[in-house]
Amino acid sequence: MKKKVLFLCTGNTCRSQMAQAVINEEYGEIWEAVSAGTFPGKETNPNARKVLAEIGIEHEGHPKSPDVFRNDNLDLVITICDDAAENCPAWLGEGSIIHHGLPDPLDAEGSAEEVLAVYRAVLGRIQTEIPPLLDAHLAKY
């Protein structure tokens, strides 16, 4: 039976969407990933979609509130920004929450290519840093 992980950030437009897409693509046999934002934005950031497409992942996720998952059996919640860690809804449960902060690519400045480089760097960190967190959680159970 698949485990379910919720990636939580503030706007649910970049980091959490990329994490959801990567985990569903690369670890979908073991994990079902979903994402939400404590203050969800209107749409997934086009640069997040673009860098995902560069690695062959087409992602159609849309920002949403964690309340959407209130009745789901979540095995793990990973907050990926400090604000989400501070504002994580209490009903998500303390024992199943891990905080792993990642820089917000929305803060990137410069040319279009320089901004995309920041998105690529965050995506790379998701690909290398999130799977060990999931593996460690599985090892506990």
Which residues are known catalytic residues? 9, 81, 88
SS3 category, 79: strand
Residues forming beta bridges with residue 14, ordered by sequence position: none
d(CA 125, CA 13): 17
Phi first, then psi: give them for residue 81, nearest 5 degrees: -145, 150
d(CA 20, CA 54): 16
CB atoms within 10 A of CB 28: 11
Phi first, then psi: give them for residue 99, nearest 5 degrees: -100, 130
